[in-house]
Amino acid sequence: MLRVGLAQVNATVGDLAGNAEIIVEWTRRAAARGARVVVFPEMALTGYPVEDLALRASFVEASIAAVRDVAERLNVEGLGGVAVVVGYLDRRAGLAPRTGVPAGAPLDAAAVLHGGRVVITSAKHHLPNYGVFDEFRYFVPGNTLPVFRVPVAENGDAVDVAVAICEDLWQDGGPVAVCRHAGAALLVVPNASPYERGKDDVRLDLVRRRAREAGAALAYCNLVGGQDELVFDGDSILVSASGELLARGPQFEEALIIADLELPLAGPAPQGADGEREVQPDAVGSLPHSPGVGEAVDAGDGTAIVIERIELPDMPLPLGDISEMSGRVGGGERSGRVGGDERSSRAGDGEETGSDGGARERADGTLGRAGDGEETGSDGGARERADGTLGRAGDGEGTGRAGRAGARDRAGDAGTFWPRLDELAEVYAALVLGTRDYVRKNGFGSVLLALSGGIDSALVATIAADAVGPENVHVILMPSKWSSDHSVTDAEDLVERQGINARTIAIQPIVDAFRDGLGDFPVAGLPAENLQSRVRGVINMAVSNDEGHLVLTTGNKSEIATGYSTLYGDSAGGFGPIKDVPKTLVWALSRWRNAEAERLGRTAPIPVSSIEKPPSAELAPGQLDTDSLPDYAVLDKLLDDYVEKDMGSAELIAAGHDPGLVTRVIRLVDLAEYKRRQYPPGPKISQKNFGRDRRLPITSRWREALPG
């Protein structure tokens, strides 16, 4: 039996010291539960994605030094007997510089740490170059499959464990294809796979299929947290060699998933394995692959993969009360041993909640929440705090870094299976986590936004309160002479419901002063409307500069797509929480958030009037969004086909969209590219967001023509 731990943690790009603390702390927790192998996510030591930092020699050298330091520290702290698989940034030594090869030949690498040493390393073989990924720019491919032999009994019994990295699962051939030939019983795969809607089911099917192809149990450990536009959702998975789901971690929160695996024992040690071998750095300081005899195998993708092996010595695990954890998975509810075709002793298909399916109360009297450290009930709904807001991640639980209260391993709540979130719950959790980590990781303590009484700013305020706490959310009500009474009262109502900080600054005197200073400036029309928006932007940025808040923008994807925003006005800010959220989804998320509060007997955070009233920018008398845009239900379907599916005009019309509307919307979207380039980042939740995913020229004379 091999006890394995998957540590889905929240790393910060560039914070080598902080990430090292996370690795040591979570290894300690896993060792206390008797784990012999602990797997961390892809590039957990450096954070992911590091982008052009991979091309900076000083950062690569610091990463290489840090992975050695972590190995030594684990040993000093009595954790040397645990085999730790950790992602980091390395480089390929001896590769001559040439055009088309990333400077310094960086590697998206994984290392096995044991006994105070880096015993073997490898690098990602398949480099993704689609969507948000540009890895041909940053890395050179790896060409090895490391296999390390782990002792599991005093009589010399051992298990062979292979390592592949993220994209190696997503593409055919390569290390996964070679795993069966290598005879490994377990394939561990560090991942940094960002969230998008519907991806969790795709992942599970993929992991099951690859396990069957490899002929090995497969442990998929995914990163958690926000990094600029990307949100990593965890959702780590463990399946048997037949593809049966054995364990699955939570979404959008750090967790330690512990499982006992019944695996085939390794045969006689292959030639070239040497447990006493010392790994030495080469002249330029990178960590070499195993210098032992390797076997080159056809990888099925036009390349050869070299199987490199190492046999780990049998070292004692840390002393502790491990015996009473025997037979427990994750220290939670009892389960049988998992592996082969055996099932956990828990009923169901691995997606269930605790035995009662209901909310569990914390010691502080608050309730957990969907995503970011807060579980859901059996219906996939979020759990809410006693004050009516959704609890923050950690919320006194920290992030696993030393010096802070450690993030929970959550095992006592869910055993090997965490509850699954429904679609709206997971989208909301992604938005909250992306916002929280952008604020936290960039050193802000508070946020600021303009609160109009409309639905977009209401949802952004709610996300912000759930992300950083209502006490750290500041809003400014900025009515003009065109603002309706209900907009002001709706904004005031939301402030009272959520307990956020608010002030009111009437903008009309400032608008009038601008107009007077500009001379013969129009009093109506687009220039006058945009002036109001820009005055609000100036006020937001002035208060931000004075008080140190991060300004949040409130534009949704539908508006940003069609250019229905004002440069240096409502687009002025540092982060856009709903930048990738279509208007129709804004309404759905707002209703969902209110329903979750009411389900728990709490006050709904968003006034119903903000949800139900027709949307309006209120920059002119009687103005409605539908004066300039189609009905959002119609518009969002067309935008989805044009923006996310890249349909041309003929395809859009064939799909049933009105030809006149197709022409109009395509023109709006194409002409607004220059605005989108200047919009702040926001969390990606769709298959194609505005930013890393969709890259079109600003200067372009291409126009879609209607079919003749």
CATH code for position 488: 3.40.50.620
Residue given tokens 């006020």 in the structure block: 539
Asked if 124 is an active-site residue, the reply is yes
Task: State the pLDDT at residue 101.
Answer: 80
User: d(Cα 565, Cα 556) in Å, to the nearest integer?
Assistant: 10
Name the domain boundary from 325, 350, 372. 325
User: d(Cα 607, Cα 602) in Å, to the nearest integer?
Assistant: 13
User: d(Cα 462, Cα 602) in Å, to the nearest integer?
Assistant: 14
List Cβ neighbours of 257 (8 Å cut-off, separation of 6 or more): 5, 6, 8, 236, 238, 247, 248, 249, 330, 411, 416
Tokens for 84, please give them. Answer: 């730790």
Q: Checking phi first, is residue 186 left (phi over 0); if not, alpha (psi -120 to 50) or beta?
A: beta
Residues 293 and 156 in one domain: yes
Task: State the pLDDT at residue 201.
Answer: 79
Annotated catalytic residue, options 21, 42, 167, 196: 42
For residue 592, how far is the Cα from the chain centroid?
A: 22
Q: Checking phi first, is residue 665 left (phi over 0); if not, alpha (psi -120 to 50) or beta?
A: alpha
CB 253 within 8 A of CB 374: yes
Annotated catalytic residue, options 21, 25, 135, 166: 166
Tokens for 44, please give them. Answer: 């957990």
Q: Which amino acid, residue 454?
A: G
* Domain CATH for 269: 3.60.110.10
Q: Secondary structure of 29-92 in the HEC alphabet?
A: HHHHCCCCEEECCCCCCCCCCCHHHHHCHHHHHHHHHHHHHHHHHHHHCCCCCCEEEEEEEEEC
Beta bridge partners of residue 159, listed in sequence order: 150
Does residue 700 fall inside a structural domain?
Answer: no
Percentage of the chain modeled with pLDDT above 90:
59
Annotated catalytic residue, options 25, 124, 179, 529: 124
Does residue 186 fall inside a structural domain?
Answer: yes
CB 488 within 8 A of CB 453: yes
Positions of the chain with pLDDT lower than 50, given as ranges: 272-286, 288-292, 321-389, 391-414
Does residue 378 fall inside a structural domain?
Answer: no
pTM: 0.85
Does residue 312 fall inside a structural domain?
Answer: yes
Task: State the pLDDT at residue 83.
Answer: 97
List Cβ neighbours of 516 (8 Å cut-off, separation of 6 or more): none
Per the structure, the complete domain to which residue 608 belongs is given by: 444-621
User: d(Cα 695, Cα 697) in Å, to the nearest integer?
Assistant: 7
Asked if 179 is an active-site residue, the reply is no
Name the domain boundary from 566, 597, 621. 621
State the DSSP H helix or E strand holding residue 203, giving kind and residue range, or none if neither.
helix 199-214
CB 331 within 8 A of CB 33: yes
Does residue 42 fall inside a structural domain?
Answer: yes
Question: Parallel, antiparallel, or unpaired for β 83-91 and 473-477?
Answer: unpaired
Task: State the pLDDT at residue 274.
Answer: 45
Name the domain boundary from 266, 299, 325. 325
Tokens for 646, please give them. Answer: 């890249």
Question: Parallel, antiparallel, or unpaired for β 237-239 and 245-248?
Answer: antiparallel
Sheet arrangement for strand 186-191: 245-248, 237-239, 217-222, 186-191, 158-163, 144-151, 304-311, 295-298
Q: What are the DSSP calls for 416-467, one per residue?
A: TBPPPP-HHHHHHHHHHHHHHHHHHHTT---EEEE--SSHHHHHHHHHHHHH
Tokens for 436, please give them. Answer: 């929280």
Does residue 383 fall inside a structural domain?
Answer: no
Q: What are the DSSP calls for 342-411, one per residue?
A: B--SSSSSS----TT-S--B-TTS-B--SBTTB---TTS---B-TTSSBPPSSSSS--S-TTSPPPP--H
User: d(Cα 445, Cα 397) in Å, to the nearest integer?
Assistant: 17
Helices H, strands E: what count in the chain?
19, 20
Does residue 358 fall inside a structural domain?
Answer: no
Buried b / exposed e across 365-397, counting CB within 10 Å, b at 16+?
ebbbbbbbbbbbbeebbbbbbeebbbbbbbbeb
In total, how many domains does the chain have? 2
Does residue 397 fall inside a structural domain?
Answer: no
Q: What are the DSSP calls for 497-562, one per residue?
A: HHT-EEEE---HHHHHHHHHHTSS--SSSHHHHHHHHHHHHHHHHHHHHHH-PEEBP---HHHHHH
Tokens for 449, please give them. Answer: 């936004």
